[in-house]
């Protein structure tokens, strides 16, 4: 057996091998050590290999999913190796022959389909990457995003510079690519940084011809033209994705939708750092709670939640499409009764896409069939409901039209065939409704009758032996047996009784027997239950085949339900929180009146505090405005900056926005940078990360972009930081000419508004009350006088002594700054005046104390002499002052 294990393990060296032995999956050698550590299960040993003990641990098959999901979450891949013949057959080949086993599936993070392993509200994307050369030094990258748990399959191509942003948008669970892309030194850092495991595939398997062949075979077509015009990079990516699916699913072919091509520039481009910083789908610490997605999610179905996340990850650039989504939201926001009915029905609809995929892969169970039944049923009732409404907006009408595509007969059949209570696995039987299949009913009756006969037999034997505690029981080793107490058992071994009862086992206080009659009955019962199972299994196959014959329509119904759920979710949110429909056009307007931050507002609401709404206008004719925001720490600068970026994202995903009124010209790219946190793991300093990200903005932002910069330049010496922030502002104003919000504590920058025509200053209002600062969180035109850093430090609990000392130092610094003749002013800077030579350094103040101190030698002094010297110094200082 070990030889077989070693052979199979060698063929799956990069996976943990779950090796089936009876009711357990066993792991051996290093796999056992890894799994026992990861899962906290006992490590034992079994036999020896090369003179050493073989470490072993095992997981029971009925709990395997739990263990699998934990291993997958830790980034492991698991090869599941099953027994592919009955142990009895192996025995027939010879006493020493080993049961045949094969790996039936590789379980990897990007290719799971089981409900218990999947997160219902999150897509489970496998992202495959291919590329093509576009010039000597540059590549274009093809991305194939495939979710085998739902069949979603999309292709797109991006220039090399946008690859990290595109990966972040897809948020894949696993990435596959060619060895060449994986080994490209220019991308090494990217693979290191992405959260998902990255699996390289051998170059030889990824030839363009085989990629194309694979796609054609998957979809049963002879040409790809019908799907769209794909680039070589996209085809390479799709080929790699399908190869990986083949390899992990081993023979099973998931039902995939035909690949749809996402046109380049179809979505608002948001790079990875901006996504993270704006906490769109998860917070900086990786949680969903506290993200924008969490704050806006009012969906009632898992497929709706997944679609909402997809929309949020890729806000649109197409005005028509945005308007279509907005119209649907507006309609549902108005019609409260319809929205309520719709959400009720949607909440009852199970996850069609995932059930369909499991059935297609041959991994489905009776509950998946029921999911199809109930999903189609809900779709039918929604379709009937909306058909009674006069004119629906285009977006809603389209979704409603998709709902009724499936064959009504299918639901009728599934209703008739499936029982009320359904087991998870079909091998558990009892899922076909009584009356659906006469032969099943007959076989079941036979089984039930035999059980009655057993009960009668037990009564008769009890009478014959005079033992009222005689029982007929069943276990897996003996099958049916008669159990009596020891004393009665002894009697059964003698006389006439010997002819009826055949001894099987003696226990501590009981004896077990069988009889000819019981043996016959047992054969009949097991025959009946085997037959019922076989018949039920055939019914299952038939129903699954009927469902799969309508894969495309069922998938479409699933998509429509998800689309309706998202529209209704936005509408619900808009009504609940008084959000409004933004006006989006192709100009360069950016007018927000009474804007709010959805996440901060929700947090404040929970603690009963109000959120102060703020306006923001960055509109420009041909060139965007820049607003420079100074203000106290804790005043609300970052909140204001982010809320405007989030409003742009929400508007372009077709949702309503948290503002009294909003008018936005389409944004093509969104950038958001904060003085970055340390990134020691990547070996980059805070400042380096900040500068790399700022460089990306200055190089890429167009007039149509929206840029949010929060405290750029704070990670270095004051004047270095100030000069960098200054120059960045000028560049944004003159070269990028984009709409921008720039928050800073460098109050010197506010003077720039006199020179840069489209830059204006805003500040966060504060009030002082008995020496305490009160943040009003109100954005008003103007310049902050102070940063109130010390007040905030006091609120944070810095010791009073430190605060007092800092106050004294601050006073000194401010005085020195006021008195210093050579302090830089705006006119001194190179853009506005010729560079004047730096003023000569002021001579140090002469008070003689320094020399006195230098003359002292503490090591040569007695304590008394030291004390006297100290008094002398103090006297001298007082005299000089
Ligand atoms: N508009 C608002 N209405 C009510 N409370 C607000 C508002 N904006 C911010 N706050 C509150 O003030 C806190 C601080 O806000 P924020 O982090 O935006 O300040 P900041 O000016 O960026 O501070 P720092 O300069 O220290 O980074 C928030 O956590 C929130 O509780």
pLDDT tens figures, 297-319: 999 999 999 999 999 999 999 99
Distance 665 CA to ligand 1 centre (A): 27
Please tell me the predicted confidence (pLDDT) of residue 847: 67
Structure tokens at 390: 């006069």
Higher local confidence (pLDDT), 647 or 797: 647
Q: What is the pLDDT of residues 203-212, one digit of tens each?
A: 878 888 888 8
- CATH code 1.10.1420.10 for 297-435+551-577: yes
Q: Are 332 and 338 in contact (CB under 8 A)?
A: yes
- Exposure string (b/e) for 724-756, b if CB count within 10 Å is 16 or more? bbbebbbebbeebbbbbbbbbbbbbbbbbbeeb
Residue having the nearest C-alpha atom to atom 15 of ligand 1: 636
CA distance 138 to 388: 56
What percent of the chain shows pLDDT beyond 70?
A: 95
Give the sign of the dihedral formed by CA 592, CA 593, CA 598, CA 603.
Answer: positive
State residue 187's pLDDT score.
94
Whose CA is closest to atom 18 on ligand 1?
A: 636
Ligand 1 centroid from CA 697, angstroms: 25
Res 147 pLDDT > 90 = yes
Which of 241, 60, 234, 56 is CA-nearest to residue 131? 234
Judged by average pLDDT, the poorest of 239-253, 667-681, 706-720, 862-876 is 667-681
Looking at residue 827, its pLDDT comes to 47
Atom of ligand 1 lying closest to residue 641 CA: 18
Beta bridge partners of 105: 80
| Cβ partners under 8 Å of residue 594, min gap 6 | 613, 614, 615, 659, 660, 661
Domain ranges of the chain: 2-107, 126-264, 297-435+551-577, 438-541, 583-786, 798-838, 849-880
Atom 16 in ligand 1: residue holding the nearest Cα: 636
The CA distance from 102 to 19, in Å, is: 9
Name the residue among 665, 585, 575 with its Cα closest to residue 618.
665
- pLDDT class of 833 with cuts at 50, 70, 90: very low
Q: Residue 836 — very low, low, confident or very high, per pLDDT cuts 50/70/90? A: very low
Residue 837 pLDDT > 90:
no
According to DSSP, residue 209 is labeled: H
**CATH architecture group of domain 438-541:** Orthogonal Bundle (1.10)
User: Cα(279) to centroid of ligand 1, in Å?
Assistant: 16
- Does domain 126-264 match CATH 3.30.420.110? yes
- Contact status, residue 625 vs residue 759, Cβ threshold 8 Å: yes
User: Which of 635, 709, 741, 744 is the pocket-test mutation for ligand 1 (most atoms within 8 Å of CB)?
Assistant: 635
| Atom 14 of ligand 1, residue of closest alpha carbon | 634
The average confidence (pLDDT) of the chain is 88
* pLDDT at residue 675, rounded to an integer: 57
pLDDT tens for residues 725-777? Answer: 899 999 999 999 999 999 988 888 999 999 999 999 999 988 877 777 788 89
The predicted structure's pLDDT at residue 684:
61
For the cut 80, the answer to whether the pLDDT of residue 146 exceeds it is yes
Question: Model confidence at 880, in pLDDT bands (50, 70, 90)?
Answer: confident
- CA-nearest residue for atom 25, ligand 1, is 633
From the CA of 639, give the closest atom in ligand 1.
Answer: 18
* Protein residues with CB under 6 Å of any ligand 1 atom: 600, 604, 611-612, 614, 631, 633-639, 777
> In this model, does residue 57 exceed pLDDT 90?
yes
How many other C-beta atoms lie within 10 A of the C-beta of residue 764? Answer: 26
Q: What confidence score (pLDDT) does residue 687 get?
A: 76
Helices (H), 301-365: 302-313, 319-334, 336-348, 352-360
Q: H or E segment at 542?
A: helix 516-548
Q: What is the pLDDT of residues 555-579, one digit of tens each?
A: 999 999 999 999 999 999 999 999 9
DSSP-derived secondary structure for 84-143: -S-HHHHHHH-TTPPPPEEEEEEE-GGG---TTTS-TTS---EEEEEEEESSSS-EEEEE
At 197, give phi and psi (nearest 5°): -65, 145
In angstroms, what is the span from residue 610 Cα to ligand 1's centroid? 12
- Give CATH superfamily name and number for 2-107: DNA repair protein MutS, domain I (3.40.1170.10)
Q: Domain 583-786 is in which class?
A: alpha beta
Averaged pLDDT, 433-441: 91
**Intrachain domains 297-435+551-577 and 438-541 with the same fold:** yes
Residues 377-420 pLDDT 10s: 999 999 999 988 888 999 999 999 999 877 889 999 999 999 99
């Amino acid at each position: 057996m070990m030889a077989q294990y070693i052979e199979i393990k060698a063929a799956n060296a990069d996976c943990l091998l779950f090796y089936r032995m009876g009711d357990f999956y066993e792991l051996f050698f290093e796999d056992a050590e890894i799994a026992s550590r990861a899962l906290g299960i006992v490590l034992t040993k079994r036999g020896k290999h090369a003179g050493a003990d073989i470490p072993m641990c095992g997981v029971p098959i009925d709990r395997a999913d739990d263990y699998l999901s934990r291993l997958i979450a830790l980034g492991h891949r698991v090869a599941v190796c099953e027994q592919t013949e009955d142990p009895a057959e192996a025995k027939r080949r010879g006493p020493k022959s080993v049961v045949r086993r094969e790996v039936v599936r590789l379980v990897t993070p990007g290719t799971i389909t089981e409900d218990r392993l999947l997160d219902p509200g999150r897509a489970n994307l496998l992202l495959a990457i291919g590329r093509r050369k576009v010039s000597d030094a540059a590549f274009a990258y093809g991305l194939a995003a495939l979710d085998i748990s739902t069949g979603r399959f999309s292709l797109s191509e991006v220039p090399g510079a946008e690859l990290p942003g595109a990966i972040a948008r897809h948020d894949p669970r696993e990435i596959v690519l060619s060895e060449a892309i994986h080994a490209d030194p220019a991308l090494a850092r990217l693979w290191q940084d992405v959260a998902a495991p990255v699996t390289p595939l051998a170059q030889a398997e990824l030839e363009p011809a085989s990629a194309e062949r694979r796609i054609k075979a998957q979809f049963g077509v002879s040409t790809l033209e019908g799907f769209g015009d794909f680039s070589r990079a996209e085809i390479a990516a799709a080929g790699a994705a399908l190869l990986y699916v083949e390899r992990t699913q081993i023979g099973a072919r998931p039902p995939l939708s035909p690949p749809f091509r996402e046109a380049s520039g179809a979505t608002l481009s948001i790079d990875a750092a901006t996504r993270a910083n704006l906490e769109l789908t998860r917070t900086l610490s990786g949680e969903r709670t506290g993200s924008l997605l969490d704050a806006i999610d009012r969906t009632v179905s898992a497929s709706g939640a997944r679609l909402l996340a997809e929309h949020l990850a890729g806000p649109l650039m197409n005005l028509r499409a945005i308007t279509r989504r907005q119209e649907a939201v507006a309609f549902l926001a108005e019609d409260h009764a319809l929205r309520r009915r719709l959400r009720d029905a949607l909440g009852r609809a199970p996850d069609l896409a995932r059930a369909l995929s499991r059935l297609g892969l041959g991994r489905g169970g009776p509950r998946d069939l029921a999911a199809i039944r109930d999903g189609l049923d809900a779709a039918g009732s929604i379709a009937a409901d909306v058909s009674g409404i006069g004119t629906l907006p285009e977006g809603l009408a389209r979704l409603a039209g998709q709902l009724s595509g499936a064959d009504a007969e299918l639901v009728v059949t599934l209703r008739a065939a499936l029982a009320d209570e359904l087991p998870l696995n079909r091998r558990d039987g009892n899922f076909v409704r009584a009356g659906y299949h006469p032969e099943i009913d007959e076989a079941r009756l036979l089984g039930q009758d035999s059980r009655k006969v057993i009960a009668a037999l037990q009564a008769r034997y009890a009478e014959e032996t005079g033992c009222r505690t005689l029982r007929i029981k069943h276990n897996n080793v003996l099958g049916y047996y008669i159990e009596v107490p020891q004393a009665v058992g002894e009697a059964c071994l003698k006389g006439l009784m010997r002819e009826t009862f055949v001894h099987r086992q003696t226990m501590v206080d009981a004896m077990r027997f069988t009889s000819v009659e019981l043996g016959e009955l047992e054969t009949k019962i097991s025959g009946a239950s085997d037959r019922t199972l076989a018949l039920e299994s055939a019914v299952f196959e038939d129903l699954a085949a009927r469902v799969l014959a309508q894969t495309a329509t069922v998938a479409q119904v699933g998509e429509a339900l998800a689309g309706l759920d998202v529209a209704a979710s936005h509408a619900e949110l808009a009504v609940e929180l008084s959000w409004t429909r933004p006006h989006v056009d192709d100009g360069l307007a950016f007018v927000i009146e009474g804007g709010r931050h959805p996440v901060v507002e929700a947090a404040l609401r929970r603690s009963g505090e109000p959120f102060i709404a703020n306006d923001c206008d960055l509109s420009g004719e041909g060139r965007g405005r820049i607003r420079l925001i100074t203000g106290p720490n804790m005043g609300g600068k970052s909140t204001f900056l982010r809320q405007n970026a989030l409003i742009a994202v929400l508007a372009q995903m077709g949702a309503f926005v948290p503002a009294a009124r909003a008018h936005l010209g389409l944004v093509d790219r969104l950038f958001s940078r904060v003085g970055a946190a340390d990134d020691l793991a990547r070996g980059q300093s805070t400042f380096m990360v900040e500068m790399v990200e700022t460089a990306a903005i200055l190089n890429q932002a167009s007039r149509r972009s929206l840029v949010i910069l929060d405290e750029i330049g704070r990670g270095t010496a004051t004047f270095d930081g100030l000069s960098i922030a200054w120059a960045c502002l000028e560049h944004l104003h003159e070269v990028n000419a984009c709409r921008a919000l720039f928050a800073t504590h460098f109050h010197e920058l506010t003077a720039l508004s006199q020179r840069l025509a489209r830059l204006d200053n805003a500040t966060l209002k504060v009030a002082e009350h008995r020496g305490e600062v009160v943040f009003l969180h109100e954005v008003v035109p103007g310049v902050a006088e102070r940063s109130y850093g010390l007040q905030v430090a006091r609120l944070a609990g810095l010791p009073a002594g430190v605060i007092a000392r800092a106050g004294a130092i601050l006073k000194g610094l401010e005085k020195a700054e006021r008195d210093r003749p050579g302090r830089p002013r705006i006119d001194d800077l190179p853009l506005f005046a010729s560079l004047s030579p730096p003023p000569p350094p002021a001579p140090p103040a002469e008070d003689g104390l320094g020399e006195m101190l230098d003359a002292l030698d503490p090591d040569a002094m007695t304590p008394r002499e030291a004390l006297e010297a100290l008094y002398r110094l103090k006297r001298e200082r007082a005299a000089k002052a």
